[in-house]
């Protein structure tokens, strides 16, 4: 049996010495291949007596198994070492920057517009729109601005040039023409908001020639100022996302509403910035009132049958109050740094489940 012992020791030594998979395979072929040393031994079994074969065969098979096991183990070890070496060679410096990706944003005015639409949608308001270039009837006359009345001048209207027929178009000074268009084309009950761009020929720290308004209109039987008050109180609390907000109504004058009011919100102005929901100052935030009978009549609605309210607010301005943008003019300057600082995530769409922003 010593020949087997010697052979085994010899083969196992070769297995152990194999430095790579190729060398190991050569060892395998030399031992277990068709003409390998152990295969050769197995071939000699046929010429043996049964007893001898039984004893000798078992020994050779065991030898073959042990060598196979050693080969397998060595192969696994070599493969593992090779993988380690490959992975080591594949190391990347992960402190290097990933490919550049720009971060986009939603403009705060549009975010605020979406917030307002979300709140009013919950109260059953639809969204109405109309053209920015308007005529005198829709922007003024139908809204009870008598021709040449001083109230018209207060609107700092942008005009286009006079046409041959004497008329001239203008840029709407409020989104109220949308209310007119809605009342003319739709029978009460009406419950809409009209968001959009508006224009006044005015430019300073708190005025820009273009700004955004959301106006609201409710026309039905039996609608009174109490409904207006509830609607706006509810809106303001939801918009500023606080129950602590206190508001007051003050009489005011608008040609298109009667009675008319302005709504103030309580705020703190002490620290140079305005904080809503605290303090002792009042800040005017919107105008409103009961739709003037002359306006209803101009739109073909009988003021003895239907009545309702309207309100209008500056979207940019309310956005500035809520989110702390200090200067209206920046809203329209398209400065990339400002947009990224005050802008909102694409995924911050206001909804009743997660809140407004």
When the beta carbons of 54 and 207 are compared against other proteins, the nearer one is 207
Pick from 67, 125, 266, 318 the residue near other proteins by CB under 8 A. Answer: 125
Let me know if 215 is exposed, middle or buried by CB neighbors in 10 A (0-12, 13-18, 19+).
Answer: buried
**79 is an interface residue for other proteins by CB under 8 A:** no
Rounded to the nearest 10°, the torsion over CA 215, 220, 221, 223 is -30
Cα–Cα distance measured from residue 314 to residue 333, given in angstroms and rounded to the nearest whole number? 18
Tell me whether strands 126-127 and 190-199 are parallel, antiparallel or unpaired: parallel
Indicate whether 283 belongs to the interface with other proteins (CB under 8 A).
Answer: no
Of the candidate residues 54, 81, 104, 244, the single one contacting other proteins (CB under 8 A)? 104
Min dist CB 309 to other proteins, Å, is: 10
344: DSSP letter: B
Query: CA-CA distance, 228 to 218, in Å (whole number)?
Result: 9
Q: Measured from the CB atom, is 38 or 183 closer to other proteins?
A: 183
Asked whether position 323 contacts other proteins by CB under 8 A, the answer is no
Q: Single out the residue of 45, 275, 293, 357 in contact with other proteins (rule: CB under 8 A).
A: 293
Q: Which three-class secondary structure state does DSSP give residue 135?
A: coil
- Per rule CB under 8 A, is residue 343 in the interface with other proteins? yes
User: Is 249 among the residues that bind other proteins (CB under 8 A)?
Assistant: yes
Say how far apart CA 27 and CA 33 lie, in whole Å.
9
For helices 2-17 and 50-89, the axis angle rounded to 10 degrees is 10
Closer to other proteins by CB, 290 or 313: give it: 290
Angle at 211 between CA 224 and CA 157, to 5 degrees: 85
Distance CA 73, CA 98 (A): 41
**Radius of gyration of the chain from its Cα atoms, rounded to whole angstroms:** 43
Q: Is residue 324 near other proteins by the rule CB under 8 A?
A: no
Q: Pick one of 12, 116, 194, 290: the residue that binds other proteins (CB under 8 A).
A: 290
Residue 241 within binding range of other proteins, rule CB under 8 A? no
By CB neighbour count within 10 A (0-12 exposed, 13-18 middle, 19+ buried), where does 28 fall? buried
Q: How far is the CB of 203 from other proteins (least distance, A)?
A: 5
Does residue 117 touch other proteins according to CB under 8 A? yes
From the list 7-15, 22-30, 71-79, 105-113, the region that binds other proteins by CB under 8 A is 105-113
> What is the maximum span of the chain, computed from C-alpha positions, in angstroms?
133
* 123 touching other proteins, by CB under 8 A: yes
Question: Is 161 a residue that touches other proteins (CB under 8 A)?
Answer: yes
Q: Please give the residues from 203 up to 232 whose contact with other proteins meets the rule CB under 8 A.
A: 203, 209-210, 218, 220, 222-227, 229-231
Candidate residues 43, 54, 149, 329; the one interacting with other proteins per rule CB under 8 A = 149
Site for other proteins contains 250 (CB under 8 A)? yes
Q: Do 168 and 130 form a contact (C-beta atoms < 8 A)?
A: no
Q: At what angle do helices 315-323 and 108-122 cross, to 10 degrees?
A: 100
* 163 scored as a contact of other proteins (CB under 8 A): yes
Considering only 3, 51, 90, 153, the residue that binds other proteins (CB under 8 A) is 153
Selection from 271, 310, 275, 16 nearest residue 182 by Cα: 310
Choosing from 300, 324, 326, 336, the residue that interacts with other proteins (CB under 8 A) is 336
Nearer to other proteins (CB atom), residue 131 or residue 277? 131
- 214, 194 Cβ separation under 8 angstroms: yes
Q: For other proteins, which is the closer residue by CB, 78 or 151?
A: 151
Applying CB under 8 A, the span of 35-43, 62-70, 145-153, 271-279 interacting with other proteins comes to: 145-153
Q: Is residue 78 a contact residue for other proteins (CB under 8 A)?
A: no
């Amino acid at each position: 049996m010593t020949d087997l012992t010697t052979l085994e020791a010899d083969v196992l030594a070769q297995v152990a010495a194999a430095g790579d998979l190729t060398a190991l395979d050569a060892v395998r072929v030399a031992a277990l291949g068709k003409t390998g040393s152990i295969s050769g031994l197995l071939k000699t079994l046929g010429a043996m007596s049964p007893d001898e074969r039984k004893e000798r065969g078992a020994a050779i098979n065991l030898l073959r198994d042990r060598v196979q096991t050693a080969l397998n183990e060595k192969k696994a070890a070599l493969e593992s070492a090779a993988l380690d070496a490959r992975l080591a060679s594949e190391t990347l410096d992960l402190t290097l920057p990933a490919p550049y990706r720009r971060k986009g944003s939603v403009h705060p005015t549009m975010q605020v517009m979406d917030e307002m639409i979300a709140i009013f949608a919950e109260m059953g308001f639809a969204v109405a729109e109309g053209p920015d270039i308007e005529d005198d009837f829709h922007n003024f006359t139908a809204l009870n601005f008598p021709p040449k009345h001083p109230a018209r001048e207060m609107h700092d209207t942008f005009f286009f040039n006079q046409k041959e027929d004497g008329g001239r178009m203008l840029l709407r000074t409020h989104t109220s023409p949308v209310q007119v268009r809605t009342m003319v084309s739709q029978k009460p009950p009406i419950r809409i908001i009209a968001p959009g761009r508006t224009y006044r020929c005015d430019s300073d720290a708190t005025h820009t020639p273009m700004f955004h308004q959301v106006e609201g209109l409710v026309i039905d039987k039996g609608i009174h100022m109490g409904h207006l008050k509830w609607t706006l109180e509810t809106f303001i609390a939801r918009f500023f996302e606080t129950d602590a907000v206190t508001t007051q109504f003050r009489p005011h004058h608008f040609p298109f509403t009667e009675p008319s009011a302005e709504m103030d919100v309580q705020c703190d102005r002490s620290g140079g910035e305005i904080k809503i929901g605290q303090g002792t100052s009042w800040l005017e935030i919107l105008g409103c009132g009961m739709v003037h009978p002359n306006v209803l009549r101009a739109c073909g609605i009988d003021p003895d049958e239907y009545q309702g309210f309207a309100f209008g607010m500056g979207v940019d301005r309310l956005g500035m109050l809520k989110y702390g943008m200090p200067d209206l003019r920046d809203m329209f300057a398209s400065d990339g740094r400002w947009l990224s600082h005050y802008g909102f995530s694409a995924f911050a769409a206001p909804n009743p489940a997660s809140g407004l922003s």
